[in-house]
Chain A
């Protein structure tokens, strides 16, 4: 079945350092890929999505490229800030299927 696997957390970084959260997916169909972010006490909110293979999405300094050959969608940011502390979810949806499949989430903590 369809699935998403991402970097095990928690991840702790110092402010100003770079971030990579790995995400790999499995599907036999054509997915749209998403990164969602969840802050404490809130529901997940969209960071960005990429519907097409080999294209890049970005928002708030975060970016990820939908790599069809590698079936990956790694999240990167060059310089993290304390306000980036949250749980990050990689997710996929498949055309004509009415659900979003989430990875297990990666909890990110940024030290000032």
Chain B
């Protein structure tokens, strides 16, 4: 089936540093999403993105977070600066239309902030 690729698969970073998580969504998809999953807990919506803009973001999407997709390249989640509570697995997803359509998820980027 359609594949969403995420880079890196895991990263360890010092608190206060910047991290960028990269997502290569399904090629003809138009909507992009980031979800956060702390170990053993549920998937929590962070943000969605369409037509070059953030459509909606949750309370978890702090001011230190930003997303972009410059010129149709990777869809990125940047955290600057990182905090200990940012340690989690971040999942990227994409869908052809809005979320009434199926979301396809990547395998996640495990972020450990020390």
List the interface of chain B (C-beta within 8 A of A).
Answer: 1, 4, 31, 33, 41-45, 48, 50, 55-56, 91, 93, 98-100, 102-108
A103 touches B42 (CB 8 A): yes
| Range, interface on chain A | 20 to 34
Chain A residues within 8 Å of B42, by CB: 89, 102-105
A5 to chain B, nearest CB (A): 11
Give the residue among B31, B50, B105, B106 with the most A Cβ atoms within 10 A: B105
Measured between alpha carbons, how far is A51 from B93 in the docked complex, in Å? 20
Chain B residues within 8 Å of A45, by CB: 1, 104-105
**Can you list 9 A-B pairs with a CB-CB distance of less than 8 A?**
A32-B100, A34-B102, A45-B104, A96-B98, A97-B99, A98-B56, A99-B33, A100-B93, A102-B45
Closest to B56 in A: A98
B109 to chain A, nearest CB (A): 10
A99 touches B56 (CB 8 A): yes
Of A44, A99, A103, the residue contacting B99 (CB under 8 A) is A99
A51 touches B100 (CB 8 A): yes
A93 at interface by CB-CB < 8 Å: yes
- Known contacts A43-B91, A102-B42, A105-B43; A97/B106 CB under 8 A: no
DSSP majority for the A interface? loop
Which residues of A from 2 to 58 have beta carbons under 8 Å from B? 32, 34, 41-46, 49, 51
Chain A residues within 8 Å of B103, by CB: 46, 100
Chain B residues within 8 Å of A93, by CB: 98-100
A109 to chain B, nearest CB (A): 14
B12 to chain A, nearest CB (A): 17
Measured between alpha carbons, how far is A34 from B93 in the docked complex, in Å? 15
Chain A residues within 8 Å of B48, by CB: 98-99
